[in-house]
């Protein structure tokens, strides 16, 4: 078991990449805090893990709210005794269109849910992780590395996560805590479906796929296995890294 004896928090664990990672972490021996804003989605993930013989507890949390994030960390340490792995993964795509037409509230929400959440998660987790010399993994995006024609605020939030990951890796290294991020490319989840929109969805997904050098979309498990590597001792010399999992899209 690659995560035997570890305790992990996964945010955005009710769907897509977070659900796949929660299941994988549990299969590899971790006890998992399934954290999501949507209670029913989180419950489904907990049930999947329990059905497969794993251990999981639920935390209903809006990752953009300081008091709720603090409570999530407390739920973990109180019920499972410690915290080894924090996967800051929850994210939203926000509204699309030209930046100059974007409402200020929409901008704030994307930055708060995607970027401020990483600050809050780390702020409240790190005091506990100093004891476990744990691993923090942040979900950025290929759109943190290149521009987005449809969603500049999303792109900015993900670029911010990459920069924050590097700085935090430097600040945490003396404590033996590692901090890395993953940049997924287009991955088959509800977020991607919302990203391309309702109209002519199948055609747009075919277009997206054609642009990917490996000629397929990512699967949530593709990202989950990257997170598993970064969570495990196998990556014990890896910190401040940006692991791109995008089928080659940003290699051009």
Ligand X SMILES: NC(=O)c1ccc[n+]([C@@H]2O[C@H](COP(=O)([O-])OP(=O)(O)OC[C@H]3O[C@@H](n4cnc5c(N)ncnc54)[C@H](O)[C@@H]3O)[C@@H](O)[C@H]2O)c1
Catalytic residue positions, numbered: 154
Q: Which of 48, 62, 102, 250 binds ligand X (CB under 6 A)?
A: 62
Helices (H) and strands (E) in the chain, counts: 9, 7
Q: Binding pattern to ligand X, positions 167-206, x when CB under 6 A?
A: -----------------x-xx-xxxx--------------
The nearer residue to ligand X, 129 or 183, going by C-beta atoms, is 183
Phi and psi torsions of 243, nearest 5°: -90, 110
Beta-carbon contacts of residue 187 (< 8 Å; ≥ 6 apart):
16, 17, 217, 218, 219, 220, 222, 223
- Close Cβ partners of 177 (under 8 Å, ≥ 6 residues apart): 126, 129, 130, 133, 134, 135, 136
Q: And the tokens for 204?
A: 């747009």
Q: State the Rg of the chain over Cα.
A: 17
The only residue of 6, 12, 129, 235 in contact with ligand X, by rule CB under 6 A = 12
Closest CB 104 distance from ligand X, rounded Å: 18
Site for ligand X in 75-114 (CB under 6 A): 89-92, 113
Rounded to whole angstroms, the Cα distance separating 57 from 116 reads 24
- For residue 76, the minimal CB distance to ligand X (Å) is 15
Give the contact letters, 14-53, x = binds to ligand X (CB under 6 A), - = no.
Answer: xxxxx-----------------xxx--x------------
Binding site for ligand X (CB under 6 A): 11-12, 14-18, 36-38, 41, 61-64, 89-92, 113, 139, 141, 184, 186-187, 189-192
């Amino acid at each position: 078991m690659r995560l035997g004896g570890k305790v992990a928090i996964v945010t955005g664990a009710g769907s897509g990449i977070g659900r796949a990672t929660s299941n994988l972490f549990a299969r590899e021996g971790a006890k998992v805090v399934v954290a999501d804003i949507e209670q029913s989605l989180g419950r489904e993930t907990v049930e999947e893990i329990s059905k497969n013989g794993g251990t999981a507890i639920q935390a209903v949390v809006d990752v953009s709210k300081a008091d709720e994030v603090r409570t999530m960390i407390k739920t973990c340490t109180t019920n499972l005794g410690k915290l080894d792995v924090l996967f800051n993964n929850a994210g939203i795509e926000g509204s699309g269109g030209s930046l100059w037409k974007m409402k200020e509230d929409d901008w704030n929400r994307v930055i708060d849910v995607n970027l401020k959440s990483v600050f809050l998660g780390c702020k409240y987790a790190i005091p506990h992780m100093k004891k476990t010399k744990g691993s923090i993994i942040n979900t950025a995006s290929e759109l943190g590395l290149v521009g987005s024609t449809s969603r500049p605020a999303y792109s900015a939030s993900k670029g911010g996560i990459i920069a924050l990951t590097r700085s935090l890796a430097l600040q945490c290294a003396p404590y033996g805590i590692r901090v890395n991020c993953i940049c997924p490319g287009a991955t088959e989840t509800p977020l991607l479906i919302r990203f391309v929109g309702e109209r002519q969805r199948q055609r747009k997904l075919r277009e997206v796929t054609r642009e990917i050098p490996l000629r397929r979309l990512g699967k949530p498990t593709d990202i989950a296995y990257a997170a598993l590597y970064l969570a495990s001792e196998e990556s014990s010399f890896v910190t401040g890294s940006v692991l791109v999992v995008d089928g080659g899209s940003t290699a051009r």
